[in-house]
Structure 1
Amino acid sequence: MARALAPPEVSAVEPPGGDGPERPGSRRARLQSRMRVVPRRLWVAVMVVLLLAAAALAFALTRPAGPAPITQADVNASVQKGVADQAKKDAQAPAAAALAYQAIQPSLVLIQTIRTSATGAESGSGAGVIVNADGTILTALHVVVGAQTINVQYTDGTSSTAKVASTQPDNDIATLAPATLPQTVVPAVLGGGVQVGSPVFAVGHPLGLTDSLSAGVVSALDRTVPVKDGKKLEHLIQIDAAVNPGNSGGPLLNRAGQVVGIVTGLANPGDQGFFVGIGFAVPIATAGGAAGSPPQ
Structure 2
Amino acid sequence: MLTVLLALWLYNLLLPGPRPLTTQQVNEAIASAMASATPAPSYSSIVYQIIHPSLVLIETERPNNEGGLGSGVVVTAEGDILTSLHVVAGAETITLTFADGTRTEGVVVAEQPENDIAAVRAAQLPEVLVPATLGNPGALRVGDEAFVVGNPFGLYGSMSAGVISGFERSFKPETSERTLEGLIQVDAAINPGNSGGPLLNRYGQVVGIVTGIVNPTEQEVFIGIGFAVPINVAGGAAGLPSY
TM-score range, shorter chain: 0.7 to 0.9
* Identical-pair percentage: 55
2:234 is matched with which residue?
287
d(CA) in 2 for partners of 1:129, 1:262:
9
Q: Which amino acid aligns with 2:199?
A: L
d(CA) in 1 for partners of 2:42, 2:82:
27
- For residues 165-180 of structure 1, the aligned pairs below 5 Å read 165-180=109-124
| Higher Cα Rg, which structure | 1
1:236 aligns with 2:180: no
2:192 is matched with which residue?
245
- For residues 105-116 of structure 1, the aligned pairs below 5 Å read 105-116=52-63
Tell me, yes or no, if the aligned pair for 2:58 and 2:97 is still in contact at 8 Å. yes
Q: Which amino acid aligns with 1:187?
A: P
Tell me, yes or no, if the aligned pair for 1:162 and 1:177 is still in contact at 8 Å. yes
SS at match of 1:246: coil
Cα RMSD after superposing both structures: 1.9
Select 2:86's aligned residue among 111, 125, 142: 142
1:50 is matched with which residue?
none
How big is each residue's C-alpha offset from its partner over 1:37-84, in whole Å with a ceiling of 9 and x where there is no partner?
xxxxxxxxxxxxxxxxxxxxxxxxxxxxxxxxxxxxxxxxxxxxxxxx
SS at match of 2:47: helix
Shift of 1:276: 1.1
SS at match of 1:285: helix
1:268 aligns with 2:212: no
Unaligned runs of 5+ in 1: 1-86
- For residues 164-243 of structure 1, the aligned pairs below 5 Å read 164-193=108-137, 194-227=140-173, 228-243=175-190
1:159 is matched with which residue?
103
1:92 aligns with 2:36: no
How big is each residue's C-alpha offset from its partner over 1:168-226, in whole Å with a ceiling of 9 and x where there is no partner?
00000000011000011110000002211110100001111110000000000000112
Tell me, yes or no, if the aligned pair for 2:87 and 2:195 is still in contact at 8 Å. yes
1:122 is matched with which residue?
66
d(CA) in 2 for partners of 1:229, 1:158:
32
SS at match of 1:146: coil
Residues 91/233 of structure 1: CA separation in 2 closer, same or farther (3 Å cut): farther
d(CA) in 1 for partners of 2:172, 2:72:
23
Tell me, yes or no, if the aligned pair for 1:131 and 1:137 is still in contact at 8 Å. yes
1:66 is matched with which residue?
none
Q: Which amino acid aligns with 1:207?
A: F
d(CA) in 2 for partners of 1:91, 1:244:
34
Q: Which amino acid aligns with 1:204?
A: G
d(CA) in 2 for partners of 1:223, 1:147:
28
Shift of 1:293: 2.3
Shift of 1:92: 1.4
Unaligned runs of 5+ in 2: 1-33
d(CA) in 2 for partners of 1:202, 1:177:
22
Shift of 1:231: 1.8
Higher relative contact order (CA 8 A, sep 6+): 2
Residues 295/197 of structure 1: CA separation in 2 closer, same or farther (3 Å cut): farther
SS at match of 1:97: helix
- For residues 14-163 of structure 1, the aligned pairs below 5 Å read 92-116=39-63, 120-163=64-107
SS at match of 2:53: helix
d(CA) in 1 for partners of 2:177, 2:113:
13
The TM-score, its normalising length taken from structure 2, stands at: 0.82
Deviates more, 1:286-295 or 1:147-156: 286-295
Q: Which structure features the higher share of helix residues?
A: 1
Q: How many residues align?
A: 207
